[in-house]
Amino acid sequence: MALPELRLPRRAGRRTNLGLLLLLLVAGGTGVLGYTVGTAPATTLVAAAHGAAGLGLLLLVPWKTVVVRRGRRRAMHTRRDPGVAIALGFTVALTVLTGVLHAVGLPGPWPVLGGVAALQVHVAAAIVGAALLAVHVVGARQRPRRTDLGRRELLRTGALGLGAVALWGGLEGLLRLTGAPGGRRRSTGSHERGTDDPTAMPVTQWIGDAVPDDRASALEVVWGDSRVRLDADELDRGDEVRATLDCTGGWYAAQDWRGVRLDRLLAGALPRGLPDGGSVDVVSATGYRRRLPLSDTAHLLLATHAAGRPLSPGHGAPVRLVAPGRRGFWWVKWVVRVEVVDAPWWLQSPFPLQ
């Protein structure tokens, strides 16, 4: 005896779509936000919200399946092309799958895919999915209604959120109980790779950056008309800090870094002393740069060594920036210039464009 087909009223289909849209927006927003925060408890809250929103999508799959079937029948009569919706569904499924693979401890890289890691596929699929979602929402032509913010809808939204959090908590608990690699992830979701062993750290760069063939052996300190040039050998002044490099590629490693504190370097190189305000641009031999508050320089290190050994070319030799509490793209490699500027540090792209 065949089971009766699940039928949803039209309003239930709208609620399903709104629930999916909300979860996708939360997952996308927290995914971007996760690259901007590097210290707990902010990292824990963002990672939890991101994981819960992603897994929460699974709760709506049965209802969305019915909505899709109904939409296909409607498309046959209206001759609408369902291509965008199908592509969106595929990219969302791929995003969730690769996110789960990274979380449970199967991050790759996978040789069969040319050395691509799960997190790279996850991010790429999410970017494509965001574009498809925008096209799909515009094409759906559904306008907001007052009832979308009614008491019943808010209660349903709360129930969906609680279900998503419970699903995420169950997965995290299972990973810890079973001793799976994913249970030992950092609060950012990154896996440990190479703590106290720099040779075991992956060599990764931001987007199109690459290890330069010509790495300068000197550093220039600039403030207005003042320019001081220092050899790389002069930068190992015994200042040490233990800091965790947490790469947006999904791995982290804690090292004992040695070099010179940035505030000490600037105070000794600038004849007028440090200004009261402003920022400092840290520039790489490749042109890559990040701007940081001048008030943070006491916590920043220009490192020449890691774990007692000179930096390798892949990890920024002869000198790189160490920025505790910030994600890896702030840790500028192959530093050739440090420039004090008047512009505020936040007046830059949130993420490097190079």
**Residue 313 belongs to a domain with what CATH number?**
3.90.420.10
At 9, the pLDDT band (50, 70, 90 cuts) reads low
- So what's the pLDDT on residue 261? 95
Is the residue at 120 inside a domain?
A: yes
Average pLDDT, the chain: 83
- So what's the pLDDT on residue 143? 66
Q: What is the DSSP string of 111-170?
A: GGGTSB-HHHHHHHHHHHHHHHHHHHHHHHTPPP-GGGGSHHHHHHHHHHHHHHHHHHHH
- So what's the pLDDT on residue 351? 84
**Domain shared by 180 and 206, yes or no:** no
**Domain shared by 78 and 224, yes or no:** no
- So what's the pLDDT on residue 238? 92
Give the pLDDT mean for 300-320. Answer: 94
Q: Which two tokens stand for residue 233?
A: 């050998």
Is the residue at 18 inside a domain?
A: yes
**Domain shared by 245 and 135, yes or no:** no
Is the residue at 353 inside a domain?
A: no
| Dihedral over alpha carbons 35, 136, 93, 63 (to 10 degrees) | 120
**Domain shared by 152 and 20, yes or no:** yes
Biggest CA pair distance of the chain: 89
**Domain shared by 127 and 24, yes or no:** yes
Q: For residue 314, what are the contacts with CB-CB under 8 A and spacing of at least 6?
A: 203, 211
Give the pLDDT mean for 97-112. Answer: 80
**Domain shared by 129 and 258, yes or no:** no
Is the residue at 5 inside a domain?
A: no
In angstroms, rounded to a whole number, what is the distance separating the alpha carbons of residues 262 and 244? Answer: 18
In angstroms, rounded to a whole number, what is the distance separating the alpha carbons of residues 174 and 265? Answer: 48
Lowest average pLDDT, out of 37-41, 81-85, 262-266, goes to 81-85
Per-residue DSSP letter, 329: G
CB-side neighbour CA atoms (13 Å) of 302: 32
Is the residue at 347 inside a domain?
A: no
**Closest alpha carbon to 216 in 57, 129, 334:** 334
Q: For residue 143, what are the contacts with CB-CB under 8 A and spacing of at least 6?
A: none
**Domain shared by 212 and 178, yes or no:** no
Give the pLDDT mean for 245-256. Answer: 93
More confident residue, 345 or 155: 345
Lowest average pLDDT, out of 116-120, 130-134, 184-188, goes to 116-120
In angstroms, rounded to a whole number, what is the distance separating the alpha carbons of residues 107 and 210? Answer: 22
More confident residue, 226 or 197: 197
Residue after which a domain boundary falls, among 157, 188, 219: 188
**Domain shared by 211 and 75, yes or no:** no
- So what's the pLDDT on residue 268? 81
- So what's the pLDDT on residue 197? 95
Is the residue at 348 inside a domain?
A: no
Is the residue at 137 inside a domain?
A: yes
Q: Which two tokens stand for residue 147?
A: 């009832």
Give the pLDDT mean for 73-99. Answer: 74
**What one-letter code names the amino acid at 306?**
A
**Domain shared by 113 and 244, yes or no:** no
* H or E, element range at 310: strand 309-310
Question: Where do the DSSP E strands lie in 8-48?
Answer: none
**Domain shared by 17 and 37, yes or no:** yes
Residue after which a domain boundary falls, among 165, 188, 211: 188
Q: Which two tokens stand for residue 344?
A: 């505020």
pTM of the full structure: 0.83
**Domain shared by 210 and 168, yes or no:** no
How many folded domains does the chain comprise?
A: 2
- So what's the pLDDT on residue 150? 65
Give the pLDDT mean for 109-136. Answer: 82
User: Structural domain of residue 273, as residue ranges?
Assistant: 198-341
Is the residue at 182 inside a domain?
A: yes
Residue 65 reports pLDDT greater than 60: yes
**Cross-strand bridge partners of residue 305:** 258, 310
Residue 1 reports pLDDT greater than 50: no
Percent of the chain whose predicted confidence (pLDDT) is above 90? 31
In angstroms, rounded to a whole number, what is the distance separating the alpha carbons of residues 37 and 30? Answer: 10
- So what's the pLDDT on residue 35? 87
**Domain shared by 206 and 181, yes or no:** no
**Closest alpha carbon to 235 in 262, 214, 256:** 262
Q: Which two tokens stand for residue 262?
A: 């940035």
Lowest average pLDDT, out of 108-117, 121-130, 253-262, 332-341, goes to 108-117
Give the pLDDT mean for 346-350. Answer: 88
Residue 68 reports pLDDT greater than 80: no
Q: Are 327 and 248 in contact (CB under 8 A)?
A: yes
Residue 112 reports pLDDT greater than 70: no
Q: Which two tokens stand for residue 117?
A: 């890691």
> Given the DSSP bridges, would you call strands 251-261 and 301-306 parallel, antiparallel or unpaired?
antiparallel
At 232, the pLDDT band (50, 70, 90 cuts) reads confident
Residue after which a domain boundary falls, among 164, 188, 212: 188
